[in-house]
Structure 1
Amino acid sequence: MSALVNNGDTVGLASATGPSLGEAEFTFLREFVLQHCGISLGEHKRQLVQGRLLRRLRALGLSGFAGYCDLLRRDPASELGELASCISTNVTSFFREMHHYDMLVDELLPRWLEEKRGGGRLRIWSAGCSTGEEPYAIAMVLAEALERTGANVDAKILATDLSPQALEAARKGMYAIDRLGGVSDARRKRWFLRGEGAYDGYALVHPRLRELVSIQPLNLLHEWPMQGRFDAIFCRNVVIYFDKPTKQRLFSRYAGMLESRGYLFLGHSESMYGLSEDFDLIGRTVYRKRT
């Protein structure tokens, strides 16, 4: 759930912190980010983007934004993930928008596991997984449903994001205790290992959850290597920052990746209204593929 940097962020004046982001460089960056990430950067984001990218310039040993733009022109693929990390803020938590998980527990997982009992295939995609809280929360309710029903089902969760830093954190699966606020006491005991010594104050996700979750880099605007279809896709708090054509293309592609009458979960402030004829709204930001 990598989200575009919010309007409340502030940065210091360029003269006090480093080189200035000129008009030509900002125009290029706006066009580059729109093309490769589907995100429209307004003029009011200029100073904010400047402040975020100054850290990247220092890491690369570049003296100015012109050199950074040249790097993107020469080898866009190598730097795209880092750029996305710089201009985005990963806002996420365990069991955020709990009504989605309630639907999984009460309705969808019992039905799917019954239908697929005896060796069927169940696939869920967390698209824009950020630092991993969402796919691991899905894994908790999935693992509990598998234990409860004893169903013999090939169940996996694909978790993807563009940000290298977010993916690294997701792969580690280690979270400060105060990040577990959305997790019940019972689930904390069942699905987390408490850190000791140097890791005091942290919790590590249980190996069983790691077995269920595959974490991979993916740009939603580029080619998708996945072959099979998904029973559900979670893409929450991601598309709100895309322009309308990008949203329309993405929803169409999601429809093509879902099983017949599969489910798409969006964020609390996102909607498909006027953007797709492939889905019906059936709950709070829950959509079902029509065929």
Structure 2
Amino acid sequence: MSTSFNYKHLYYFWVVAKEGGISRAADKLDMAIQTVSAQVRELERSLGFALLKPAGRGLVLTEAGQAALQQADLIFQLGEDLPSKVRDAVSSPTVRLAVGVCDGLPKLVVHLLLQPVMAEANLRLLCQEGKLDDLLGDLALHRLDVVLSDRPAPNNPNIKLYSHSMGSSTIAWYGTSKWLEATHHNFPQSLADVPLLLPTTHTAVRDRLDLWFEQRAIRPRIVGEFADGALLKTFGASGMGVFPAAAWVHDDLLARYAVQRLGSCEGVTEHFFAIGTEKKVQHPLVQRLLQPVL
């Protein structure tokens, strides 16, 4: 980094990029347009690259500007978090763990995966559910300590992500007692004769289920598709149809939803991953989550 690099100049550039132009940035900063423009030019001079270029009547980011904006997002997000971090550090001895949970991950599985840290004294557990891409963005900005997912992290040229296996589970079919009677004979071909509830196609296990049906020449009668695993099980427990679930949580599933196991989904396995930004995990609670597989 150049010795003439100035974080104030970076901040002005960041506001310009966020606001979409120098004029709007000047209004937000309550500064003269010429002053903001000069600050951005000073940053460009210190870095040695143009960060903005004309486009029509406005300005757009150059490739160097896009790279600078990504780093500025990280820097100023950390700055925004600083007061709360300091306050939390001196106010109580809580141990904080911020976990991102992919929306397609079964909630009973999430509860099971987090069990190794639940006995931690003064634990402050923050869980955020969302789509994988959104959660990985928050992970990159250090808003999350770890992301739990049903698939490994995709390759990303802008940030190194590491996927740590947390285990896997076979899949079985579940339903209310009336579907047990309907599928008892000639299982699994009998699944073609009953209504099915399946996870949506954005989950990793759905592709495996579709292939499983195809290999057995079963034409499923799908009456419901759910992005949320808990919602799928709730409708399954109401008798709407037969549904797949991780056999790993068999006991909890039967206790909470009053359903029965109809048979195995042989050959289909659901995998679980903890995604982080470190190859060697530093957060002590994340280390504990991964202890069986580290």
TM-score (norm: length of structure 2):
0.28
Task: Report the structure number with the largest CA radius of gyration.
Answer: 2
Query: If each structure's strand is expressed as a fraction of its own residues, which one has the higher value?
Result: 2
